[in-house]
Structure 1
Amino acid sequence: MKSKKWGLLVAILLLMVTAACGSGGNKQTPGNSSPSPAVNEGSKDDANKDESKEYKDELNIALTAQPPTLDTAMTVSAVALDTAGNIFEQLYTLNANYEPVPALAESVERSEDGLSYTFKLRQGVKFHNGKELTSEDVVASMNRWLVTSSRAKVLLQNAKFEAVDTYTVKLTVEKATSDVLILISAQAQFPAIMPKEIIESAPAEGIKEYIGTGPYKFVEWKQDQYIHLERYDEYQSVDRDPSGFDGRKEAPTKNLYFHFVTDHATRIAGVKTGKYDVADSIPIENYDELAAVNNVELQSFPGGALTAFFNTTEGVLSDVKLRQAVLAALNNEEIMLASFAKPELYSLSPSYLSTNQTQWTNEAGAEYYNQSNPEKAKQLLAEAGYNGEEITLLTTKDYNEMYTGTLVIQEQLRQIGMNVKVINFDFPTFLETKNDRSKWDIFLASTGYQITPPQLLAVNPDWAGLNNETVANALVAIRSAATPEAAKQEWEKLQGFMYEFASSTVLGHYNGVVAINKNLEGFELYEAPVVWNAKIAK
């Protein structure tokens, strides 16, 4: 539940102008997307060495939570998506400039009316089971994503993929919008391409057989311990410089182990001793301790927004006046300081998107943000007829900032006379419980930055049950706006409505911290820790 380095995305502006003006037939082709020759294990091991170094055959990555699944279309969990990104690939992906670029596709041609996209596929790409990738696999994978991903269901309603020939697929959309390639390229609930037969045999609860085309293949999931991936020696990489999720993936290290280390002290100790080469979600209270360790390097990045979501459809908080009372009571400075410890690692702003992303950031709803006004809150409670009904806060200790922030909110609401309890679960159970809206009234989540407002969890009805006609109509207006300026105005109106309606609130913006071994080479921190080009000397 995190993300990195969002800035102004020129590609979005270009796409929006293109979509609005109806210009089509534009073919996007990479400089060189020809697959490089497969490298056998021996030659890769040789590549791991220079005249003075020998490299380990495994990397150990410590995750703060166990993934609920590796079925990417069915989860927004960062630990799941970060891990699965080594196994699965997409038609299009994002480069370091957050531009959609071909991955398993070679190119795309958009029709003049903006209602169809024709993708040419790379040839000779093989799945981990040895089967060659063809259009039937892409069609099965993408059509499942369209009806499984909560984002795709809302934003690409009634869209459909079909095969044109063995290496060509066509996407037909209901309406011309500015963000089709962005949705297909983004990491959130990304559309993983799998063999057709895996899709057809998948149970309703999700894929259990993880076969992709990525640089690493799935070996083992040892429950509550680790996921083991192994280099896929028949992997066909694009031949471009690494850039974000794009470019060459060399897999110099044979084995990747993703360990589930939910206890923060254990994760910190493992980084210090060298047991773990990479550790995510470093608690801020351990920042100075790890910064003093000679063999550890800390990397900080714009992580996202700590956000509180309210149950607008069931229970006590289905009353908007009670939700507004909660907003009036919140002291965001207290919440963020308790959750992130160092003022330099967080900031306050009502913007749902990164404050560096000038295309979308705004101050709409500021009058409802960080009010810290208990007297106003008490007045609203009285007007709503609140009579001590229990308010349930859902949380997980697997994410320290979510748990700590929840406890602060519990105390702030108690101070205005609300009857509040906290229920805590491990992360997979937290996500499962979140989907049962009879069991919670408020939950916090570390929400990673998105490229466009329609991708936000805060506007997704499947995330916290927000099913509001004003929100739905505003999303259509944003995506079909004639200019970037018009789209921004529509988003500003929607953000203001969301604060007034009190469906959610940004609590603050945070920097995430990842710890790595200083001897680690080839590691990149982009939207996720990128380890497929990483190696570490013995």
Structure 2
Amino acid sequence: MLRNALLAAPFLFLSAIPNPSFAAGVINVATIGEPPTLDPMASTADVVGMTTQHIFETLFTFDAEWNVVPLLAEAMPTVSADGQTYDITLRKGIKFHDGSTMTSADVVASVERWVKIASRGKQIAPYFTSITAKGDDAVQIVLSKPYAPLLSLLAFNNSAAVIMPKANLADDPLTKFIGTGPYLLKERKADQYLQLTRFDGYQPRSEAANGFGGARKAILDEIRFVPVPDANTRLEGAISGQFDYADSLAPETFDRLKGSDASEPVVLKPYGAPVFVMNTKEGVLAKKEMRHAIQAALNPEDMLLAAFGNPEFFAVNGALYPEGYVWHTEEGIERYGNGDPETAASMAKEAGYDGEKPIRILTSRQYEFHYKMAQVAAEYLKAAGFKVELGVFDWATLTTRRADPKLWDIFITHGPFPPEPILNGWMSDSYPGWWATPAKTAAVEPFIAEPDQEKRKALWAEIQKTFYEEAPVYKVGDFNALGSKKKTLKDFQPSPWPYFWNVSTAN
């Protein structure tokens, strides 16, 4: 088994099997907004992964300690001595939501599409030679050279390598959203709800539930994901008991949640990092020296204070992984946390900036902490002599706009600390921001080819050093995420992408 995704300590999951006295029912989950798509391959947006993981499944997934474990695969693959051939046996008799049976032909077609269109699939594309069927219940993946993160990429639910019926893949974009998951798509009403109902033909694995792995039991009759862009509305709905789960709440609301009779706070500590992704392809920040000026101008502590208020919810930290993670290193972070507009102004002038072209920042109030950080960042950049345009959009629109390099210079996003560093969105050359340079390639190539975990740690330190030198992304710091769950929601296990199989309600 590949264990390169293992963190130094278990993260957020607890192994659990639902209480036998469970009750079926309907739950309402408040999300930050409308998913821009229901095609998991086509988007890295967390709201897409959070919702569609109930509909679609991957060959592998992660357990409670972030080890890769089988899901639609029968077992872990057999890997050749040279690390280039993976033989994967599939579970037999797995049904899609349309009643058809999953075969190797569906897996081959799905993985081929993933490699072609998904940002994470494109990461493997240069190393991907073929995937072929070996009978109805097995496939073989052949690489041109070893690629250590392959199984982690196949397991991730973000820009995910989900398995769909081959017949449905002819449509681009997808018109049918049919998977093998414990819940199926019943109805989607844009900006109102996404209605999922139990798939009675679902066949859970026999192992005990363990993180995303093991048995997934569809206990609830129905899950309704309700887009609620306003954080205060999500909060009031949580306090009143309208929502069984509410995602992404402001830290300053923690005490109000603690006092609620209906709901209770859910804190994920640590959750991840907010980041400012810079456009390295076109515009003002295509020049590295200009990105260095941005690094120098911004003050991370002020942005984190504005965003989260309570110091218990953030840490000023430039390392891409916090202490306690196997990937933690201090390499390169001397460029982090200067907050020096005067120096930044001098650097920008040397880089040829004349103050005419604006720095166009994309942000969204659906993640209120993004917006607050953007406001502080804008003031620091203005103090450094930059002209700034702040564009505030709903999250779905922002994810569409960031795909066009002509429309922006910085966009603000966030994500958890993934178990395998290659899963960071910006590690993909095709991720918006388009960090694809010879220096990046030189740092990344040895890392992805090396199977030895200890050697990979040292190679990751070189990648972080290159990250700071090339400045494709500004990491603001670390933060804890706050959500809420209704007290009647049973056996819910917090995670970066909340899931609702193995969950019941006492409503």
TM-score range, shorter chain: over 0.9
Q: Distance in 1 between matches of 2:486 and 2:6?
A: 39
Does 1:83 find its partner at 2:51? yes
Deviation at 1:49, TM superposition (A): 8.1
* Pick aligned residue for 1:183 from 153, 164, 173: 153
Tell me which residue corresponds to 2:118.
149
Give the AA of the match of 2:130: K
Contact 1:139 1:162 survives alignment (8 Å): yes
Q: Distance in 2 between matches of 1:255 and 1:484?
A: 42
Q: Distance in 2 between matches of 1:208 and 1:523?
A: 32
Give the AA of the match of 1:322: M
What is the correspondence of 1:113-512 to structure 2 with a 5 Å cutoff? 113-157=82-126, 158-199=128-169, 201-203=170-172, 206-301=173-268, 302-358=270-326, 360-389=327-356, 390-463=358-431, 464-481=433-450, 483-512=452-481
Q: How many percent identity over aligned positions?
A: 33
Deviation at 1:48, TM superposition (A): 9.3
TM-score (norm 1): 0.88
Deviation at 1:129, TM superposition (A): 0.7
Q: Distance in 1 between matches of 2:30 and 2:451?
A: 45
SS of 1:105 mapped into structure 2: coil
Tell me which residue corresponds to 1:11.
3
Q: Distance in 2 between matches of 1:266 and 1:14?
A: 37
Contact 2:6 2:419 survives alignment (8 Å): no
1:481 to 1:110, Cα distance in 2 relative to 1, 3 A: closer
Q: Distance in 2 between matches of 1:339 and 1:10?
A: 38
Deviation at 1:159, TM superposition (A): 3.5
SS of 2:200 mapped into structure 1: coil
Superposed CA offset, 1:234-277 (max 9, x none): 11111111111112222111011000000112111111111110
Q: Distance in 1 between matches of 2:490 and 2:451?
A: 45
Q: Distance in 2 between matches of 1:231 and 1:110?
A: 36
Deviation at 1:56, TM superposition (A): 5.4
Deviation at 1:459, TM superposition (A): 2.4
Contact 2:320 2:475 survives alignment (8 Å): yes
TM-score (norm 2): 0.93
Q: Distance in 1 between matches of 2:20 and 2:419?
A: 39
Superposed CA offset, 1:478-513 (max 9, x none): 112363333222221221122122211211011111
Give the AA of the match of 2:243: Y
Give the AA of the match of 1:192: V
Q: Distance in 2 between matches of 1:396 and 1:509?
A: 19
Q: Distance in 2 between matches of 1:10 and 1:345?
A: 33
1:13 to 1:260, Cα distance in 2 relative to 1, 3 A: closer
Provide the aligned C-alpha RMSD in A.
1.9
Deviation at 1:533, TM superposition (A): 1.4
Provide runs of 4+ in structure 1 moved above 6 Å: none
Tell me which residue corresponds to 1:41.
none
Give the AA of the match of 1:253: L
Contact 1:406 1:443 survives alignment (8 Å): no
Contact 2:6 2:67 survives alignment (8 Å): no
Deviation at 1:195, TM superposition (A): 0.6
Q: Distance in 1 between matches of 2:360 and 2:225?
A: 33
Q: Distance in 2 between matches of 1:136 and 1:382?
A: 57
Give the AA of the match of 2:84: L
Task: Point out where structure 1 has 5 or more consecutive residues left out of the alignment.
Answer: 1-8, 16-46
Give the AA of the match of 2:449: S
SS of 2:476 mapped into structure 1: strand
* Pick aligned residue for 1:104 from 51, 69, 72: 72
Deviation at 1:13, TM superposition (A): 7.3
Q: Distance in 2 between matches of 1:149 and 1:450?
A: 18
Tell me which residue corresponds to 2:14.
none
Tell me which residue corresponds to 2:10.
none
Give the AA of the match of 2:4: I
Q: Distance in 1 between matches of 2:292 and 2:150?
A: 35
SS of 1:244 mapped into structure 2: coil
Give the AA of the match of 2:260: V
SS of 1:323 mapped into structure 2: helix
Q: Distance in 1 between matches of 2:302 and 2:45?
A: 26
Q: Distance in 2 between matches of 1:223 and 1:321?
A: 43
Contact 1:13 1:484 survives alignment (8 Å): no
Contact 1:184 1:191 survives alignment (8 Å): yes
SS of 1:269 mapped into structure 2: helix
Contact 1:270 1:276 survives alignment (8 Å): yes
Task: Point out where structure 2 has 5 or more consecutive residues left out of the alignment.
Answer: 8-17
What is the correspondence of 1:28-43 to structure 2 with a 5 Å cutoff? none
Q: Distance in 2 between matches of 1:239 and 1:14?
A: 23
